[in-house]
Structure 1
Amino acid sequence: MNKVLLSNMMFYGFHGVHEYEREVGQRFYIDVEYCVNAEQAALSDDLTHAVDYTVVYSHVKQVIENHRFQLLEALGRHIADSLLELPLIRAVTVRIRKPYVPIPGQIDYVQVETQRTKA
């Protein structure tokens, strides 16, 4: 089993509980870690036996830019479920960082982590 990590992808999305967050939007930073059986890919050195990183990136981009969620938990689950539809991915962890949160104090970001496994 192999783990693959796409780290600190940045997308602009319109997610949040407050209406202004869904109207103005903001940057979201995403990490995706997924588990695959890459034995055949490692032996063949052939991309057709692996999960193409660009496909994973495109799935995440599509969800973040084309859907709107109030909660990061819902966004994370939707991203994870989308990635589990890819045939070779067995498990996925999605971390979403939202730097601009309506908290009256100094904070770098809020992060939600979602883990999903193929049944």
Structure 2
Amino acid sequence: MTSLLLAFAALDPRLATECRLLSLRRHERQVRIGVHEFERSAPQRMWFDVDLCVKLEAAPAGRDELSQTLDYDFIRHVIADAVGTRHHALQETLCDAILQALLLSPQVQAARVGTRKPDVYPDCESVGVERIRLKPW
């Protein structure tokens, strides 16, 4: 398995030594999204993949308590808030909104967000967008 923390470290080595990586994989939600007419008639499945580099000083896990790290519910709530109930035209803007909201947390130093729509075309598994962003130290 490839280390995503080391992949982040290629962007800034401190991410590997001063952060821990938290991941949420294939979180599925029904989303009103798309520009095609067939996408506007009903919500469709979307998958969300999120990786967060969380500063060790803010999430030391020194004790075996939830208060010692970042709760995964935070990621799920950010996605839910960004999805909301309105129709989104583009995955790109939804992905950017999620990324921006995640980086508002002082615990998060860097983040990667990937979004995928698995039901758009019958001849492929999914279509998707990915973004990565780091905050200044």
| TM tier, smaller | 0.7 to 0.9
* Cα offsets for 1:1-32 (capped at 9, x unmatched): 11111011000010111244233110101111
Aligned length: 117
Q: Give the share of equivalent positions with the same residue, in percent.
A: 32
Look up the match of 2:91. Answer: 72
Q: Distance in 2 between matches of 1:51 and 1:64?
A: 21
1:23/1:65 Cα in 2 relative to 1: closer, same or farther (>3 Å)?
farther
Q: Which has the higher helix share?
A: 1
Structure 2, unaligned stretches of length 5 or more?
A: 1-18
Q: Is the 8 A contact 1:11 1:65 kept in 2?
A: no
- Give the counterpart of 2:131 among 107, 114, 117: 114
Q: Equivalent residue for 1:84?
A: 103
SS in 1 for 2:25: strand
Unpaired runs of 5+ in structure 1? none
TM-score (norm 2): 0.75
Q: Deviations over 1:18-58 (max 9, x none)?
A: 24423311010111101011255222444334211111111
Is contact 1:98-1:110 (8 Å) kept?
Answer: yes
Q: Is 1:42 aligned with 2:61?
A: yes
Q: How far, CA to CA, are the matches of 2:114 and 2:91 in structure 1?
A: 9
CA RMSD of aligned residues (A): 1.8
Matching residue of 2:4? none
Q: SS in structure 1 opposite 2:101? A: helix
8 Å CA contact 1:36, 1:91 repeated in 2: yes
Task: Return the letter of the residue paired with 1:35.
Answer: C
Letter of the structure 2 residue corresponding to residue 110 of structure 1: V
